[in-house]
Amino acid sequence: MSEQQWLTKKQMDAFEECLKEVGIGNYTLRFSPGVDGEENMGGLIIKADVLDRTKTDESVTNFILKCSPPSKILRSTIPVKDIYNIEIYIYSTVFPEFTRIQKEKNIRNPFTSYPRFYKSLNDDGEEMLVLQNVKMLGYKHRDRHQPLDYDHILSIIKQYAKLHALSYAIRNQKPELFENFEKNMQNHFFGDFNFGGLVVNINQRTINALKALDPVKDDLFYDRFSYFAENPTKVLKNLIHSTSRNKVISHINCGISNLLFKYQDASNTPSDAILLDWQHTRMDSPAVDLVTFVFSAGDKSTIEHFDDLVLEYYRCLCSFLKELGSDPEKILPYAVLLEELKTYGIVGLFMANVLIYGYETPTLSDVLHDESHKEGFSFMYELRDRTSYDRRVRDAICHFHNLGYNFH
């Protein structure tokens, strides 16, 4: 496949400009798929290996090119332009500000759990991000079909604590900058619910979750979840567009496929982690990341330790806020965090259900090239075997109910 078949001319020009900016002028370029073809739903992921001919040691620089999907029909059903603009903004503006404040405070162990960003292109239909290929540094994916164990979940929980702490510190110490973040992150994936594919998908996934419950055996929480299932978009819209002062920059898309882990020696305990895919990022309650991630990535035994994980999250949040020079007791008392979980947790439960649906799908639909969206959306597939999905979703809803969290 030629270079032109991998990228459009504008994308190729932007990538070549990027190579010049990093000092690579004479090179050999090799493109290859960055992920398995049927494991990606957010864009074209291309691995670019660049051999610098000017160096005798045959130095190779490894990039990941994330390009917007070519399907015009797909772009009409979900807000593709908005989510690429959000991700470009996060990498080009938000993360550099995170780096700046952490340097100002001489943070010893800063939050850097994302790939290096090189360049972007935001032309309509040709959006692209050029990122570091962190797999070449030893970071690995986990099997999305298998729940994560407690150690892996705890490692990500601590990363979210640092991410959220940075938001709170900036809001506390640099309010104008935080206001700019809010203003530039308004047009997110769930910004207006005006895209037909989004609304249909929300309803379909929620109905499937309700089917996982037995009206008689699960009577204690069946009616409560039914209330949410009757009009999920109304509930989600009210909560997502609330004016809560406790909102932070949230990852939102907490899927296992968007996490990479690094290990020391032969240990199965992660020593570091990377968070990928910031397209769904928005200002939201910290409860959303917490519930989304734990309730989707963990099995029943891990979900039942949710209170312990919340406490670990809060300890890390407080410690990092103190390093950043802010008082955690004034910014987010523990009692307030618990109220956030009770009020906004349902958004995370919905997201967890969506993720579990994907985990229990043997092969994801190729929505990047499938033009059947106009006939009911290729998102709308049904699971051939619901056994594991029903069990996992029921466990999540049951424990959510046991925690006393709101379903509306």
Task: Quick: pLDDT tens for 176-187.
Answer: 999 999 999 998
Asked if residue 122 belongs to a domain, the reply is no
- For the chain, the domain total comes to 1
Residue partners of 227: CB distance under 8 A and separation at least 6: 407, 408
Asked if residue 407 belongs to a domain, the reply is no
pLDDT for residue 197: 73
pLDDT beyond 80 at 56: no
* Percent of the chain residues past pLDDT 90, beyond the cut: 78
Asked if residue 110 belongs to a domain, the reply is yes
Mean pLDDT confidence for 238-262:
94
Q: How many CA atoms lie within 13 A of 94 on its CB side?
A: 31
pLDDT for residue 1: 46
pLDDT for residue 140: 94
pLDDT for residue 373: 47
Structure tokens at 21: 């900016």
Cα dihedral sign for 350, 235, 310, 262? positive
Asked if residue 228 belongs to a domain, the reply is yes
pLDDT beyond 60 at 327: yes
pLDDT for residue 160: 98
Relative to beta strand 44-52, strand 27-33 is antiparallel
Mean pLDDT confidence for 254-281:
94
Structure tokens at 326: 């802010």
Kindly report the CATH number assigned to the domain that includes residue 344: 3.90.1200
pTM value?
0.94
pLDDT for residue 315: 98
Task: Of 200, 198, 157, give the one whose Cα is nearest residue 293.
Answer: 157
pLDDT beyond 50 at 375: no
Amino acid, res. 54? T
Q: Which range of residues forms the domain containing residue 104? A: 82-115+140-402
pLDDT beyond 90 at 148: yes
Q: What is the DSSP string of 74-118?
A: HHHHS-HHHHHHHHHHIIIIIHHHHHHHHHHTT-SS----S--EE
Asked if residue 265 belongs to a domain, the reply is yes
Mean pLDDT confidence for 333-355:
98
pLDDT beyond 50 at 224: yes
pLDDT band (50, 70, 90) for residue 42: low
pLDDT beyond 90 at 59: no
| Contact of 322 with 107, CB cutoff 8 Å | no
Asked if residue 276 belongs to a domain, the reply is yes
What is the DSSP secondary structure assignment for residue 186, as one 8-state letter?
A: S
Asked if residue 2 belongs to a domain, the reply is no
Task: Of 273, 49, 266, give the one whose Cα is nearest residue 141.
Answer: 273
pLDDT tens digits, 381-401: 889 899 999 999 999 999 999
pLDDT tens digits, 179-212: 999 999 998 888 877 777 788 889 999 999 999 9
| Contact of 136 with 63, CB cutoff 8 Å | no
CA 102 vs CA 1, 17, 149, 312: distances in Å? 43, 30, 30, 22
pLDDT tens digits, 62-75: 999 999 987 777 77
Asked if residue 393 belongs to a domain, the reply is yes
Least confident residue range of 225-229, 301-305, 363-367: 363-367
